[in-house]
Structure 1
Amino acid sequence: MKKMICIAMLTFGFNVFAQSEIPKLPTEVCPLLISEKIPAASLKSVDGLTVDLAKMIASKKTILVFYRGGWCPYCNMHLAALNDAEKELLSLGYQIIAVSPDSPKSLKAIDDKDKINYTLLSDSDGALSKAVGIAFQAPENYKPIITEGSEGVNKTFLPVPAVFILDKEGMIQFEYISPDFKHRISNELLVAAAKSLK
């Protein structure tokens, strides 16, 4: 009987371990779906201050963007495009929050260089990206880049680029997730989705 219990516990342990691992490929992620809620998270601002994401979301409808880091040229183009769409999105009653594994110091460098008007937040430990279901194992050649960008906190994961439109309760009303990091949502589609949910 003891032997059976030990085998059952070992099997359970392996299953829990397997479920806690993040996917190896971006095409294997399992993100939250429309009508699900973004989990509560404490993130860091560009100034290194702790930010309660749920409180920010509760203040205004939100465009929540996940990007790979300031070292990624496709991410930088996307952030610049969002800057161009910000005025229209603000007029529709939205705020933009962009999250990456970069450290606050790396975020500040991007903010200063590109004059980003909206909020950039750090998820260096990946707690939010993993909870949302968009984290995957970084390929070996990316590990030095992400380690440097996160100041040594993140050595293992990347988020799949994603955009979520949230209501004030944090419920997902729209999402765009692209395992191909070169493809991002256009401003036209994002604004049209935001208008349709107003």
Structure 2
Amino acid sequence: MPENRLSVGDPAPDFALSDAHGKIVALHDFRGRKTVVYFYPAASTPACAKQACDFQDNLNSLASAGYAVIGISPDQPKALAKFASEESLNFPLLSDPEHSVAEAYLAWGEKKNYGRTYQGLIRSTFVVDEEGTLSLAQYNVRATGHVAKLRRDLKLD
């Protein structure tokens, strides 16, 4: 495993970010509850919409198993509000335009696409346990099929 990755047992970096409506949402507000924190590159793009809709479709079963879901992207709150409305999402989407939270989770870094190398958001998912410790850390996840894999990893299926 690369050294520049968080892993199971690490403390989850706390954060406080604006949601789609300008309300501040902090990870510590979810203490006592298992929380899925996923990072996605851009609202209202096909792959990110597919991933968000997969989370939305599984929200009730995740909640029944004790999991909250939070999505984080570099988008501004206005774009997140539009995305949530377009896709009928009813879990928190948080704005990290300076990508400071993505950097704390080591989910911001070098990417390669069509021969081009650049800095960007690495699609990643973390599960934070009730005490604020990482119980799962996955980097470079695929948008399609990721929630099904996550459910298997969490032994929910």
Give the shorter-chain TM-score range.
Answer: 0.7 to 0.9
Matched, 1:186 2:134: no
After the TM superposition, which segments of 4 or more aligned residues of structure 1 sit over 4 Å from their partners? Answer: 181-185
Work out whether residues 35 and 67 of structure 2, in 8 Å CA contact, stay in contact via their aligned partners in 1. yes
Specify whether residues 157 and 95 from structure 1 end up closer, same or farther in structure 2 by C-alpha distance, changes over 3 A only: same
Name the aligned partner's letter for residue 152 of structure 2.
A
For residues 37 and 157 of structure 1, what CA distance do their matches in structure 2 show?
A: 25
Which runs of structure 2 are paired with 1:168-187 in the superposition (5 Å)? 168-178=130-140, 186-187=146-147
TM-score, scaled to structure 2: 0.84
For residues 159 and 102 of structure 1, what CA distance do their matches in structure 2 show?
A: 11
For residues 195 and 44 of structure 1, what CA distance do their matches in structure 2 show?
A: 31
Specify whether residues 42 and 112 from structure 1 end up closer, same or farther in structure 2 by C-alpha distance, changes over 3 A only: same
1:39 to 1, 5, 13: 13
Cα RMSD between the aligned structures?
A: 2.5
For residues 135 and 104 of structure 1, what CA distance do their matches in structure 2 show?
A: 19
Work out whether residues 43 and 53 of structure 1, in 8 Å CA contact, stay in contact via their aligned partners in 2. no
Work out whether residues 123 and 142 of structure 2, in 8 Å CA contact, stay in contact via their aligned partners in 1. no
Structure number with the higher helix fraction is: 1
Specify whether residues 183 and 130 from structure 1 end up closer, same or farther in structure 2 by C-alpha distance, changes over 3 A only: same
From the CA coordinates, give the structure whose radius of gyration is larger: 1
CA shift digits 1:94-118 (9 cap, x unpaired) = 1101111101101000001100021
Name the aligned partner's letter for residue 134 of structure 1.
A
CA shift digits 1:33-83 (9 cap, x unpaired) = 11101112121111112222222x314210111100114321111111111
Structure number with the higher strand fraction is: 2
Identity of aligned residues (%): 24
Work out whether residues 29 and 136 of structure 1, in 8 Å CA contact, stay in contact via their aligned partners in 2. no
Work out whether residues 102 and 108 of structure 2, in 8 Å CA contact, stay in contact via their aligned partners in 1. yes
Matched, 1:78 2:51: yes
Work out whether residues 37 and 71 of structure 2, in 8 Å CA contact, stay in contact via their aligned partners in 1. yes
For residues 4 and 100 of structure 2, what CA distance do their matches in structure 1 show?
A: 15
- Structure 1: tracts of 5 or more residues without a match: 1-27, 140-155
For residues 10 and 145 of structure 2, what CA distance do their matches in structure 1 show?
A: 21
- How many positions carry a matched residue from both structures? 152
For residues 114 and 29 of structure 1, what CA distance do their matches in structure 2 show?
A: 36
TM-score, scaled to structure 1: 0.68
- Structure 2: tracts of 5 or more residues without a match: 113-117
Which runs of structure 2 are paired with 1:1-198 in the superposition (5 Å)? 30-55=4-29, 57-136=30-109, 157-178=119-140, 186-195=146-155
For residues 3 and 43 of structure 2, what CA distance do their matches in structure 1 show?
A: 22
Work out whether residues 32 and 130 of structure 2, in 8 Å CA contact, stay in contact via their aligned partners in 1. yes
